[in-house]
């Protein structure tokens, strides 16, 4: 679907840059462009009478440009980052500016940290504080590539378990329905 929808394709590539940086976004774009070329070539062979399709991989089969991209050096990491690029995300960007730029009314960035989380199953209100707190140790530090941190969200839920009891087999029947109360005479 992404390959045939230019605005959606651009959205995925823009999100990829947000998720893992410009290099990752360029590489994902190249892989998806390769998928598009494969698709177009296979479609043209399918429309040509008497022409058998070429022995080329078609996404997402093994050997496709996208699969080669995802199955690179760090397969689990690359697959997770690529998957996030295709999903709806919440993000925060922290930028620090040089205070001396205020005097000249110029914004002189010193560093930038981008934090991204999959939006599925969480609300923006509940995720932003933990997202920023988790990324706190990375603020202002140069990182050559995206760092993935996996953390479960604590929703302060509780489960209380009472005292266990043993129920004899003969008592394991459907709950009885109480007999209606006898009608009272007036």
Lookup: tokens for 29: 């774009």
Q: Tens digit of pLDDT for each residue in 2-55?
A: 776 777 888 888 988 888 888 889 988 988 888 887 777 777 766 667 666 655
What is the per-residue pLDDT for 114?
86
Task: Name the pTM for this structure.
Answer: 0.63
Series of mean pLDDT values for 10-residue runs along the chain (186 residues): 77 88 88 80 68 56 72 82 87 87 86 86 85 84 78 73 81 57 58
pLDDT for 58 equals 53
pLDDT given for residue 95 in this prediction: 87
């Amino acid at each position: 679907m992404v390959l045939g929808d230019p605005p959606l394709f651009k959205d995925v590539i823009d999100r990829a840059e947000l998720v893992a940086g410009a290099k990752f976004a360029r590489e994902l774009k190249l892989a998806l462009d390769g998928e598009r070329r494969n698709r177009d070539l296979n479609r043209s062979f399918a429309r040509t009478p008497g022409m058998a399709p070429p022995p080329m991989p078609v996404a997402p089969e093994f050997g496709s440009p996208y699969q080669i991209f995802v199955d690179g050096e760090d397969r689990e990491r690359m697959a997770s980052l690529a998957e996030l690029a295709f999903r709806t995300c919440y993000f925060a960007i922290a930028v620090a500016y040089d205070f001396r730029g205020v005097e000249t009314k110029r914004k002189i960035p010193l560093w930038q940290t981008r934090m991204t989380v999959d939006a599925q199953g969480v609300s923006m209100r509940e995720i932003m504080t933990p997202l920023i707190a988790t990324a706190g140790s990375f603020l202002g530090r140069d990182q050559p590539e995206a760092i993935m941190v996996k953390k479960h969200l604590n929703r302060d839920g509780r489960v209380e378990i009472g005292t266990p009891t043993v129920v004899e087999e003969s008592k394991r029947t459907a709950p009885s329905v109480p007999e209606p109360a006898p009608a009272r005479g007036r």
